[in-house]
Amino acid sequence: MLTLLRSGFSHVPPREVLQGTDFKKILKTFEALTDLGPELTADHDFRQTARTMLTAIMEAAGAREAALFSFDERRSLLTSVDAQGFALMPDPSVIPLLPRHQHTLTAASGPIVLNSSTHDVFLSSNGNVAPELFKCLCPLKVRGKLTGAIALGRRAGDALYEEDALDALKMLSHYIALAIQNHTLGQTLAQRVSENLRLVASLHGFYDNALEAFTTAIDVKHVNIHGHSLRVGRYSQAIGEAMGMNPNDAASLRSAAYLHDIGMVAVDRRLFEKPSELDQNEYREMRDHTVVGHQIVSQVQFPWPQIPEIVRWHHERADGSGYPDGLHGDEIPQAVRIVALAETFDAMTSERAYRDRLSVGAALQELIRLAPQKYDPEVLHALLIQVRRDAIGTNRLPLLDPTMMNLSAVDVDQLASNLQQRVKQSNSSTP
Ligand SMILES: [Fe+2]
């Protein structure tokens, strides 16, 4: 600060030749600078900082009217961030600059006193404020680039801006320019982040729509599996949320779960219609949908990382009885355990050619019986949480088709207690 002050005051004549009024003005400028320092580094709202800066400028330059502008290079536009003293000044005031205005303002080495013949050299009259209001203009620059401008209106008694006022203005303008640039950079950054987020959101929307259409095509083989993959996606997302996943991860899990049965496209349609149990060859073909699906998705760079493992392993079971790789317990990633349970729950509660569908309560009871040997009890507990929310009507969108729901909150609590018992039993019987 001291160095800056020294350089700022380097043009000041020796003290003995200063007149009383000059000395007072220099003191005023010094005062303005000392006020501005803490203000510029404080965590204030920018409008408040702008007001303090403009007040300091007006005091130092003896102006009754003043406005502070920031410059948007992309739109070539000066926009007021604060104005004081003008009777008629729109908020914000905007002044579009033509290339020649931008050039002359950038080339100016300090404040310029404006008159009727120079207004048009520096400012255009295309904005919502008349340049004639301004008697003095000081471009704000950082490293030779225009960041804004200070415009002064009338002084007390309509006096002209003299050299001492211009000197004070020039000295202050360096600090103001930096403050404006910091603010503009912050705003640009915030704007870019929000634009990127919007873009990502629209991409997600696009992917979701495309994926839902594609998912419907996976389940087209037979009427009994229509909607299966979409429901598994929805159940997986709900389970993920009930397990504390953040909304983005849960949405990503839904997208991945949509594709879990993609390998079914290679399975003979006849197998879905068969009213009896599949023979050995048919069963092998059916279970190969995991490996075929994995081959398909491994060729593609999806924006959801868990897709290959979900496609390959969603028929793996904790006790190693699943396929295709016979994984055990924690070898099966959590996202896969969620989709595995969601898929079984949907299969149990849907009609099949060889059996009737189970009610929601019966399906949950059967899953409890199979936990923890086949299914992860924490995942099942999360599904119970969501079913209970359906029962008491607190889910924004119901998880289950209302025609399926046959449980009260008390029933679900009973199922949760059964699950707890089941896990306890299993822990005590494990050596
Ligand atoms: Fe499957």
Instruction: Pick the range with the lowest mean pLDDT from 31-40, 90-99, 276-285.
Output: 31-40
- Cα separation of 103 and 145, whole Å? 10
For residue 113, what is the enclosing H or E element? strand 112-113
pLDDT at 373 over 80: yes
Domains of the chain: which residue ranges? 2-189, 199-421
Residue 275 has, within 13 A of its CA and on its CB side, a CA count of 0
Residue 303 Cα to ligand 1 midpoint, Å, equals: 21
| Local confidence band at 370 (pLDDT 50, 70, 90 cut-offs) | very high
Mean pLDDT of the chain: 85
Residue 379 Cα to ligand 1 midpoint, Å, equals: 18
pLDDT at 34 over 90: no
Which pair of structure tokens corresponds to residue 28? 């005023």
Name the residue with higher pLDDT: 284 or 36: 284
Residue 218 Cα to ligand 1 midpoint, Å, equals: 11
- Cα separation of 367 and 380, whole Å? 8
Residue 226 Cα to ligand 1 midpoint, Å, equals: 14
Residue 364 Cα to ligand 1 midpoint, Å, equals: 19
Contact indicator for 127, 47 with CB cutoff of 8 Å: no
Residue type, 144: G
Radius of gyration of the chain (CA): 36
Per-residue model confidence (pLDDT) at position 18: 45
pLDDT in tens, 133-184: 999 999 999 989 999 999 999 998 888 898 888 888 888 888 889 888 888 8
Residue range 199-421, CATH number: 1.10.3210.10
Domain 2-189's class?
alpha beta
pLDDT in tens, 199-218: 776 777 777 777 888 788 77
Collect all residues with Cβ–Cβ distance below 8 Å to 100 and sequence separation of at least 6.
none
